[in-house]
Structures are given as C-alpha cells and as structure tokens.
Amino acid sequence: MTERDYTIASSPPNRKELAEAFGMNQTAVRRLEALTLDVTKNLPQGIDSNTDLALTLIASLGRQGSDGDDAERQVRDLQAVLMTMRTLQSDVSRLNGIVNDLSAILTATRLQAPSINYSTIDGAPIGQAVPALGSFSSLTIASALSVQSGGTGRSTLTAHGVLLGEGSSAINQTAAGTNGQMLLGVTGADPAFGNNPTITGGTIDGTPIGSTTPAAVTGTTVKGTVFESATSAISASSGVATTAYTFLSGVPMCWLVLANIGTTSDTTHYDCFAVVLTDGTSARIALSNFGSNMSITLSGLNLQITQSSGATQTINTVLTRVG
C-alpha cells in the first residue's frame, strides 16, 4: 500500500473539556471521540486503499496493452482462467492423468514412428497398427514363434542337427551325425543318424547283391561287364580230374576260366583257358584251348582241372563272370 500523510487541522480532543461542555454527558463524549478517530485514522487508510485499487483498474482496464488487447478482452481471458482453475480444483485427481496423456503424445510425436502403437488414451491407440509391409532391422519376441505363425516353435536348435517336421507342433531335430553315418528312416517315426546298413540279399537294377556279391575282382585287363571273379588253387595229381570251383545253381551265367600250373616241372605246356556257360542246373564248355598236359572239364556244375605232367602239381584257377 502507498503511504501518504494527511493533516487534520483540529487538535486532539480534551476529554475533560468535552465533558464539561456537554454537562458530563458521557455518551456525547464517546461519540465525539469516535468521530475524531474516523477523521484522523480510518479516513486516511480508506483513501489509500481505494487509491491503489483505482490505479490497478486504470492500468488494466483503462488503457490499451502493449499487445493490443483491450479491457474487454482481458476481462474475458481472466474469466476463462478462473473457470479453468475452478474446474481443476473440483477434480484435482484428473489433472495428473491429463499431464501423463499429453506426455505420451509428445513422446510418440518426437519418435516420429506413427506405424507403431506406443500407448493408448482412454482405450484409443496412439499411432497406427504395424503395417503389412513393415521393415525392421531387429525384432525381439518374448517366446518362440509358433509353427502356425511361420516359426519353428523352438528357442534353440542343435548344432549340425537335421530339422524334422512335426505337423503343427514345434519342429524336432536329430543329434549331430559322425563321419560315415547316414540318416536312416524309421516307419512312422523320426529318422536318425546311424551306420551304413548291411545288405544281405536282393538286386539293384537287376544285379544280384548281398550273398551273390563277389569278394574281389582279379585281373589286369578285363573287357566287358564283370559281375564276379573267383580264384582257386588246388593240388592235382597226374591224370586225376580235380574240382577247382562249383558254379551257382539257378543263375544262368557265362564264365571265362584260366588255369595254369604253379611249378616249372612241366616244360611242355603251362596254362589253358575255356569259356563256360551255365543254365542254372548244368554247365557246358563253349570254347577251350587245352594244352597237351592240362585240360578243363565239367561234371554238372563242378569245374574240374586235370594235369598229366607225371607229378602232383599246384593248379591256379581264375574264374571271371562276363555275363
């Protein structure tokens, strides 16, 4: 409040003089004292208060502001502020919610990512749903993506294992195989790595396998298709037909037979050969080249060698199947 000095011309009252003047009338004396107090104290204070209020009103309503707002506009703005304050005062608990919502909107705007749903206000999403053709540099999922959604349904995979489909369930996997192992199927179950299976019979593209497979093929030059080769060494006495090999029954075949004497005691002839045909029950010699000291004969499916050098000798026989 602005302080001002006011001078009252009358002197302070003398109570005794007033009492004598009014014939000792105390009521009149008190009234005069109150009037004196109003004039000397209350009246100056009232003038000061009304002067300050008048100056404020004149400053805000009686002139144009620096921004061009007139008194009427300022009054309307003041009324709007008062109404807002009254509304917030009646529902203070909602003020925090409004501030939080505005903060969320500001955050989403700064991130400039309208394709992601960051939050909601009263159930309404901020931004938009993830687009169908969205592009991401990385994606973190809390749990394994299911097979129905294009995932594996698993969080880890076995190193070097083979993945196995399980319908709509999570994929299965094998253990890692070792050198030389192959994936072996099991009817109605998952395959697994195992060692090479042993084939005991049957054919592949018409060729016998398993028990009819020869142990080895011997020779330096073989023309044509070689199916089987066998070697036999026998000790043959002079003039005695000795069985060197027995052909398989039930399988028509063509054999090339080569026999030679293993010693040098016979200086006349050392070897001979023959082409032998079998029909599955018996065999016959189709072509032969016999020496004077050796011959190749047949007894049923038995291949026999005879030598006539005059002494027991070792005969080496090599048979090669050519058809």
Helix axes 92-111, 71-90, angle to 10 degrees: 100
Give the whole-angstrom CA distance, residue 307 versus residue 291.
9
Distance of CA 296 to the CA centre of its chain: 73
CATH class for domain 212-321? mainly beta
The string of pLDDT tens digits covering residues 20-73 is 555 555 665 566 566 566 555 655 555 555 445 444 544 554 444 444 455 566
Domain boundary assignment for the chain: 15-61, 72-109, 212-321
116 and 130 in contact (C-beta within 8 Å)? Answer: yes
| Range in 7-11, 43-47, 63-67, 109-113 with the lowest mean pLDDT | 63-67
Element (H, E) at 304: strand 302-307
Residue type, 86: R
Residue 161: name the closest of 185, 144, 178 by CA: 178
Element (H, E) at 33: helix 26-37
Structure pTM? 0.32
The string of pLDDT tens digits covering residues 190-238 is 988 888 776 666 666 666 665 555 555 555 565 555 566 777 888 888 8
The string of pLDDT tens digits covering residues 75-96 is 565 556 556 555 555 555 555 5
Q: What percent of the chain has pLDDT over 70?
A: 45
- 3-state secondary structure at position 296: strand
228 and 234 in contact (C-beta within 8 Å)? Answer: no
Length of the chain equals 323
Position of tokens 């050098």? 309
Q: In the numeric block, which tokens belong to residue 253?
A: 């075949």
Burial label, 315 (beta-carbon count in 10 A; 0-12, 13-18, 19+): buried
257 and 303 in contact (C-beta within 8 Å)? Answer: yes
Give the whole-angstrom CA distance, residue 227 versus residue 255.
10
